[in-house]
């Protein structure tokens, strides 16, 4: 068993399955990180998540994505755009889009056949996330709140959760926290 694997599925499985569940295409590194965070949490796959600016972040997931891109399983596209014309936003922004390639789809099918029960369970968990169709911001709020709750080891009030978010440098409002809590409830994580 590697550091990236608990049970029969690993980080590569989570990434490939996540992309497939979103129709083979996912926009944004943050969204991919957060969907994989929830899958790793729900499936017990150790992915090395730690607090980061946009919530839980895993360098292991980043490395796995880069490896899958290098092996031709995923296409990674970088879109650049600027927000010229909007006050205080005259800078360039980036968004990455990830797409399963035909080779990636074949590898996913092979992995699915190798672990049919694990994939069936994983796909059921993914369906709950996809059905809610949360954007990257809501995923971030929920992931931040989940990490705060896990690290506290005890139930927290809304005010306590917001105080903990400040300790990580996470700017969250009461509304953000409530939305995150609703998603966590939907995913059966609270």
- Are residues 89 and 34 located together in one domain of the fold? yes
- Are residues 17 and 108 located together in one domain of the fold? yes
User: What is the distance between the alpha carbons of residues 4 and 140, in angstroms, rounded to a whole number?
Assistant: 22
User: What is the distance between the alpha carbons of residues 22 and 179, in angstroms, rounded to a whole number?
Assistant: 21
pLDDT tens figures, 118-146: 999 999 999 999 998 888 999 999 999 99
Domain encompassing residue 63: 1-119
DSSP code per residue over 42-56: HHT-----B--TTS-
Give, in degrees to the nearest 5, the angle at Cα 78 between 77 and 80: 145
pLDDT tens figures, 44-89: 999 999 999 889 999 999 999 999 999 999 999 998 876 655 555 5
Task: Supply the CATH number for residue 53's domain.
Answer: 1.10.10.10
How many other CB atoms sit within 10 Å of the CB of residue 160? 13
- Tell me how many domains the chain contains: 2
pTM (predicted TM-score): 0.88
- Of 90, 119, 148, the position where a domain reaches its end is 119
- Are residues 106 and 155 located together in one domain of the fold? no
């Amino acid at each position: 068993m590697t550091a990236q694997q608990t049970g029969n599925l690993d980080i590569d499985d989570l990434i490939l399955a996540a992309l497939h569940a979103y129709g083979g295409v996912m926009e944004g590194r943050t969204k991919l990180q957060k969907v994989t965070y929830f899958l790793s949490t729900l499936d017990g796959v150790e992915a090395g998540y730690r607090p980061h600016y946009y919530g839980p972040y895993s360098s292991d997931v980043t490395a796995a994505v880069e490896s899958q891109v290098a092996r031709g399983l995923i296409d990674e596209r970088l879109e650049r755009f600027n927000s010229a014309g909007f006050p205080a936003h005259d800078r360039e922004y980036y968004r990455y889009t990830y797409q399963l390639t035909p080779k990636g789809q074949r590898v996913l099918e092979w992995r699915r056949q190798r672990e049919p029960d694990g994939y069936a369970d994983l796909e059921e968990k993914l369906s709950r996330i996809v059905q809610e169709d949360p954007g990257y911001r809501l995923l971030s709020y929920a992931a931040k709140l989940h990490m705060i709750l896990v690290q506290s080891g005890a139930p927290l009030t809304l005010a306590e959760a917001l105080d903990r978010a400040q300790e990580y440098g996470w700017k969250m409002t009461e509304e953000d926290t409530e939305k995150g809590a609703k998603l966590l409830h939907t995913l059966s994580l609270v």
